[in-house]
Structure 1
Amino acid sequence: MKSSRTCLTKVAAMASVASLFGLSGVAHAGNVQLYGLLDTYVGSIKPSGAARSSFQLDNGGETTPFWGMAGEEDLGGGWSSVFALESYFMVDTGGLGRNSADSMFARAAYVGLSSDTYGTVRLGRNSTPMLYITGQFDPFAASTRFSPLTNQTYTPNFGRLIHGDTGWSNSARYLSPTFGGFSVQFMYALGEAATTNGNNNVGGIIRYQNGPIDLAVGGNYVKFGTAVTPTEPAQKVLFAGASYDFKVTKLFLTYIQTRNDGSDLRTHTYHVGASTPLGPGRLNASYVWTKNDQNTASDFHRATAGIGYSYFLSKRTDVYANYLYDKLSNAGTGNTFGVGLRHKF
């Protein structure tokens, strides 16, 4: 009964918020936008080391489903106020969030100020620069089901190398304008625990874009959030990525290093991928190899490879088919595959 009441409370609150901003959209036409994405697939999931495959109809094969509302107000002098509220949901069950632990607006909930000259500051709950830039250098665009890179870096049953959630609460995120091809993002999140005021998260990236060339470096220093434990109380992450668009195909190269305080566990992840226009769709492929450089019994390496095709029925709707191979050095092979449908609105 408790979970039912909690779900009903969330649904009622969501309806109230949607109603409120529906009225605001009438009063200020064009300033508030409703948007989102639905994605569901049928497939079989089996990471390396799993005892058996899990056949399922699930959501988020290519992109985690969400809906959101965003808007801005012109303040004059080149400044605008901005806001966004974005909520994950599960297409297969109709449930809220990615799981039962998510808050209503776990994807984003911020208010901020924006200027074409000085950039944008967003205060609240923000997606991390690390999640953003990892997706930019991934042919599968951060798919938590079929991307070799995202599965190794963020999905728990595929190893989860990067600690902390993909969004940080109590955070300030700065996004700069682009000058001479260069742009930066910086984010700082407060732990807000009275006994651990120093346990805050920080992350940032520097990016250079010029024609077909795209380069980026960045990092995280995480002290609270998912996978942070007393035995591993903090983690440092280094990211470097490069891509080049040859028109006939776009090539991606990525390197990620993690180092966990306490255990001093270090991992090195190497990724190569390509995205190729093919007919009315796009063929994606990538290979990821991770090595643990500790001289202990827990040493391992992991190889994950994926290939998939998205067929565009329209600008907003596509169908896709993907296959993922996964192999730990100390466990059996895993095979994951699925076909799905995605729609943006």
Structure 2
Amino acid sequence: MKDVNTNRIRPLLAAAAFAACAPAWSQTGNNVQFYGALDQGVESIHGTSATNQGSSVRISNGIITPHWGLRGGEDLGGGMKASFNLEGSFSVDDGTIGLGGRLWGRQAHVDLSGRFGTVSIGRQYTMVRFGWTGANPFGTGNQGLKLLDPRISNPRADNGITYVGTWGAFSAGVNYSTGWDNVNGNPATVAAANCPGETANRRQCREWSAGAKYDGGTWGVATAYERLYGGTAATFGGLTSPDKTDSRFVLTGHMKFRGTGTLAAGWIRRDNMGIATPKSDMAWVQAIVPVAGPYFLDGMLAELKYKDSANKAVLVNLRARYFLSKRTNLYITAAHMANSGTLALSATGSTPALKPLAGGAQTSVIAGILHRF
């Protein structure tokens, strides 16, 4: 009989217990919802380096990150509400937990809301996400803007406190983290920077961000700014000192047409002191086009350019979707990444990474099914 790895079993048992308790909580006055999404497809990759191991055809997560979660709340009266959100990611192809093995790696926070707004404490999205969410209808799956900036798919911070206020169509908020990433992971496979913070150094691994947006229904604009402070020599990503920072300024806009169609554009100015050429600009346009009934055609063009460098990447994304229902759709999506200089960005975020040669190109095609519950 094989030994049981209790470190892996315990979080799964905890998750099962949460799910089992959800109906009981609902009966005692708390509104608890179990939700998530599964996405899986067959991927073909062209343009990988001859030194990479692995097949050019594989099973892959597709246009979103598979995830599951629990959320709920309690009406406290007088316009006040307490709520929570626990959310984690996983890989459908092998059943493993994502984001550094964190059970609730996507969100884990408790909130208090009222006429004053909402205050949230825990692991959560930072306010930089305010800036690009409305202008990124392609989402954060294995193709899309995350290929040019990984922060697009992981704009989160541990040990965070956030305030968000809403006044009609306008909303704004601020976030502060005393240690934006507690997990020590392999940077080649895990979204974990090993920057725990919460030390006597008041800058080490701190994060702050602010954002504001206007969404009038048919159109909207948004802006945000975030700064991450570095940690120690053991911190991944080059931010090996509190004196090194990684900052992003975001400006975006979007408009709706034909009911469910979207046209969006955005720009991110980044200054990352953890790399040799810190300053870069990323710009994009996206379109979600309803064709007829359940059929959609989507397109995106994006460019990442480093200042004072030959390094540049151009990404083209095309996607066709057919909705079998509101919760289930079939899709085929293609991404082509063209690198210049010494850049070797992939056309897919699937793991293990199969990167092109420096300055080379790569194409990824995924056909799959997405189901939400």
TM-score range, shorter chain: 0.7 to 0.9
1:78 is displaced (CA, Å) by: 0.5
Cα 1:77/1:194, change in 2 over 3 Å: same
CA distance in 1, matches of 2:325, 2:20: 30
Question: Normalization by structure 1: what TM-score?
Answer: 0.86
Q: Does 1:223 align with 2:229?
A: yes
- Say which SS state the counterpart of residue 336 (structure 1) adopts: strand
CA distance in 2, matches of 1:264, 1:2: 49
Cα 1:130/1:64, change in 2 over 3 Å: same
Conserved? CA contact 1:286–1:305, under 8 Å: yes
Listed as ranges, the matches of 1:171-320 within 5 Å are 171-179=160-168, 181-191=169-179, 192-199=197-204, 200-224=206-230, 227-230=237-240, 233-247=244-258, 249-261=261-273, 263=276, 265-279=278-292, 280-295=294-309, 299-320=310-331
Cα 1:211/1:23, change in 2 over 3 Å: closer
Q: Which residue of 2 aligns with 1:83?
A: 84
1:226 is displaced (CA, Å) by: 6.0
Q: Which residue of 2 aligns with 1:153?
A: 149
1:5 is displaced (CA, Å) by: 3.3
Cα 1:172/1:193, change in 2 over 3 Å: closer
Q: Report the identity percentage.
A: 26
Structure 1 window deviating more from structure 2 (49-58 vs 61-70): it is 49-58
- Say which SS state the counterpart of residue 56 (structure 1) adopts: strand
1:284 is displaced (CA, Å) by: 0.9
1:23 is displaced (CA, Å) by: 2.7
Cα 1:153/1:111, change in 2 over 3 Å: same
Q: Which residue of 2 aligns with 1:324?
A: 335
CA deviations over 1:256-285 (Å, ceiling 9, x no partner): 111022646111111011110012132110
Conserved? CA contact 1:212–1:244, under 8 Å: yes
CA deviations over 1:32-66 (Å, ceiling 9, x no partner): 1111111111112457768666321122x111111
- Say which SS state the counterpart of residue 177 (structure 1) adopts: strand
- Say which SS state the counterpart of residue 65 (structure 2) adopts: coil
Unaligned runs of 5+ in 2: 180-196, 342-358
Conserved? CA contact 1:47–1:326, under 8 Å: no
1:88 is displaced (CA, Å) by: 1.1
- Say which SS state the counterpart of residue 169 (structure 1) adopts: strand
CA distance in 2, matches of 1:187, 1:340: 36
Q: Which residue of 2 aligns with 1:103?
A: 102
1:9 is displaced (CA, Å) by: 2.1
Conserved? CA contact 1:164–1:228, under 8 Å: no
Structure 1 window deviating more from structure 2 (317-326 vs 10-19): it is 10-19
Unaligned runs of 5+ in 1: 155-161
- Say which SS state the counterpart of residue 134 (structure 1) adopts: helix
CA distance in 1, matches of 2:304, 2:49: 16
Conserved? CA contact 2:140–2:153, under 8 Å: no
- Say which SS state the counterpart of residue 167 (structure 2) adopts: coil
CA deviations over 1:214-236 (Å, ceiling 9, x no partner): 10111110115762532783111
1:184 is displaced (CA, Å) by: 0.8
1:165 is displaced (CA, Å) by: 4.3
- Say which SS state the counterpart of residue 268 (structure 1) adopts: strand
1:11 is displaced (CA, Å) by: 1.4
Q: Which residue of 1 aligns with 2:116?
A: 118
CA distance in 1, matches of 2:3, 2:280: 41
Listed as ranges, the matches of 1:122-137 within 5 Å are 122-131=120-129, 133-137=131-135
Conserved? CA contact 1:49–1:332, under 8 Å: no
Cα 1:173/1:3, change in 2 over 3 Å: farther
CA distance in 1, matches of 2:280, 2:17: 46
Structure 1 window deviating more from structure 2 (275-284 vs 125-134): it is 125-134
Conserved? CA contact 2:130–2:212, under 8 Å: no
Q: Which residue of 1 aligns with 2:355?
A: none
Q: Which residue of 2 aligns with 1:157?
A: none
1:255 is displaced (CA, Å) by: 0.5
